[in-house]
Amino acid sequence: MFQDSIQFGVAIAAAARDILLDSSIYILFGIVVAGLVKVSLNAATVANHLGRGRYLSVIKAAFFGVPLPL
Amino acid sequence: MLPAAASLKRQGANRGAVSAFLISTPESGIDSIFITYALLDPIMTVIRPIAAFITAVSTGFVENFLHRPKDLGPMQVDRSCPVDNCCDGVDCPEEVHRRHHGPGEKLAAGLRFAATDVWGDIVGWFAVGLLLAAVITVLIPDDFMARWLGGGITSMLVMLVIGIPLYICASASTPIAAALILKGVSPGAALVFLLAGPATNVTSLTVLVGMLGKRGTVRYLLMLSVCTVAFGLLVDHIYRVLGIVPSAVIGEAAELVPEPLKYAGALVLIALSVRPLTSRFRRKKSASGEQVTFHSGFPIPPMAKGDATQKKPGPSSCGCGMH
């Protein structure tokens, strides 16, 4: 029983390590680019670009939202 | 995401634009696009932001089609400096405002944002996502889920019911989706989880009612569900037509990375995670029982009324000279 739970824990840790190894380089690239986007395009200043259009403002809001993190 | 959308609304954006922003921002981001490429495959990497965009646009269109936005006059735009909030841009000429900071300063600020704000916001959720993905990988036998969630409208609806109340960010949901696909969940059903998970959750619904009204929130959820399920079915169709076996291509991008680089990347990432994780833990411990507050790196717009935190005037040395 005790041995089983140890084995289970080790297996989960190994699986988590594999996923982390597979993704960490890409995550690093991703957060660096996201940081650079944040410096040039503040989420709060998106309103700057929206305008008053009934439909165009929606397209612009959706468009700016795609790259913005969170 | 919610504070940013609330500030958009305060600045005079119409309800359709706010709904669109509320969908596309959490459903897709630069960071999650990279993670999707690493852990899933190129098809999902491309489809995910497209689905987020189209879902957002359709929801916003329906909102503005049913409710012609009132003409509220010119927007009260927040032009605060995105680098360090040194200038609120109100009385600052466009030319000067753009040149507060040089490229080197911007690059440094961007890297700082990446390590603190961007990763700091994600890391807690990502740790949870990683652990859940690992548990799924170990506990569930291969192809076990293929019988119930292997495709078709039922699997999409099941994932929708799981995803809507769940709070998980786009990056953190990716390892879970990868683990699910490897256990036989169809890529379309996984996409429904990837889209519906980050877009809404139980707590954000109350904020939505405040911003869009009750009917607006129902329309929002309805449009979100319809578009998400449609994209789920479409993705399954794409894989079928192309004859791709999803579990065979998932995570192939990671094999391109040489082993030492993988370890180096993981070490850097773990080093970056220590501070945000420990500070979050400490904050939780000291502030347990306090009211939930949204943390965000966004500056408080000058027209935010009734806020206790009044914006401090920026330092006069930021180069604007017009304060």
What gap in Å lies between CA B108 and CA B59, rounded to an integer? 37
pLDDT at B135 over 50: yes
Identify the residue with better confidence: B203 or B191: B191
DSSP letters of B137-197? HHHSPTTTTHHHHSSHHHHHHHHHHHHTT----HHHHHHHHHHHHHTT--HHHHHHHHHHH
pLDDT (0 to 100) of residue B300: 47
What mean pLDDT is predicted for residues B247-270?
91
pLDDT for B247 equals 86
Q: Tell me the average pLDDT across B77-103.
A: 77
Task: Please compute the mean of the pLDDT values over residues B299-312 and round it to a whole number.
Answer: 44
A1 pLDDT band (50/70/90 cuts)?
confident
With a cut of 70, say whether residue B74 has pLDDT above it: no
Find out whether A35 and B112 touch, Cβ atoms under 8 Å: yes
Domain residue ranges of chain A, discontinuous segments joined by +? 25-70
The answer to whether B129 contacts chain A (CB < 8 Å) is: no
Tokens of B178: 């990868």
Q: Model's pTM, two decimal places? A: 0.85
CA angle A51, A53, A54 (to 5 degrees): 140
Following CA atoms B34, B36, B38, B39 in sequence, which dihedral angle do they give, to the nearest 10 degrees?
A: 160
CB contact under 8 A, B257 and A36: no
What does the pLDDT read at residue B116? 86
Residue B305, pLDDT above cutoff 50: no
> Would an 8 Å CB–CB cutoff place A8 in contact with chain B?
yes
pLDDT at B292 over 50: no
Q: Tokens standing for B253?
A: 């991008």
Of the pLDDT bands very low, low, confident and very high (cuts 50, 70, 90), residue B118 is confident
Mean pLDDT of B169-196: 94
Whether the pLDDT of residue B155 is over 80: the answer is yes
Specify the pLDDT at position B137: 92
Q: Crossing angle of helices A2-40/B170-182, nearest 10°?
A: 140
- Please give the residue that has the higher pLDDT: either B38 or B99: B38
What is this model's ipTM? 0.90
For the record, the structure tokens of B186 come out as 């169809």
Residue range B136-153: mean pLDDT, rounded: 87
Which residue, among B138, B142, B273, would best test binding to A if mutated, counting the most A CBs under 10 Å from its CB? Answer: B138
Q: Does B134 touch chain A (CB under 8 A)?
A: yes
Instruction: Show residues of chain B in contact with A37, CB under 8 Å.
Output: 30
Q: Could B113 and A46 be called an inter-chain contact, meaning their C-beta atoms sit closer than 8 Å? A: no
pLDDT for B288: 58
Q: A68 and B64 in contact by Cβ < 8 A?
A: no
**pLDDT tens digits along B16-61:** 999 999 999 999 999 999 999 999 999 999 999 999 999 999 999 9
pLDDT at B77: 72
**What is the C-alpha separation between B123 and B102, in angstroms, rounded?**
30
Chain B: give the shortest CA distance to residue A36, in Å: 4
Residue among A47, A63, A69 minimizing CB distance to B11: A47
The pLDDT of residue B96: 79
Summary mean pLDDT of chain B: 84
pLDDT tens column, A17-42: 999 999 999 999 999 999 888 887 77
Q: How far apart are CA B282 and CA B290, in angstroms?
A: 14
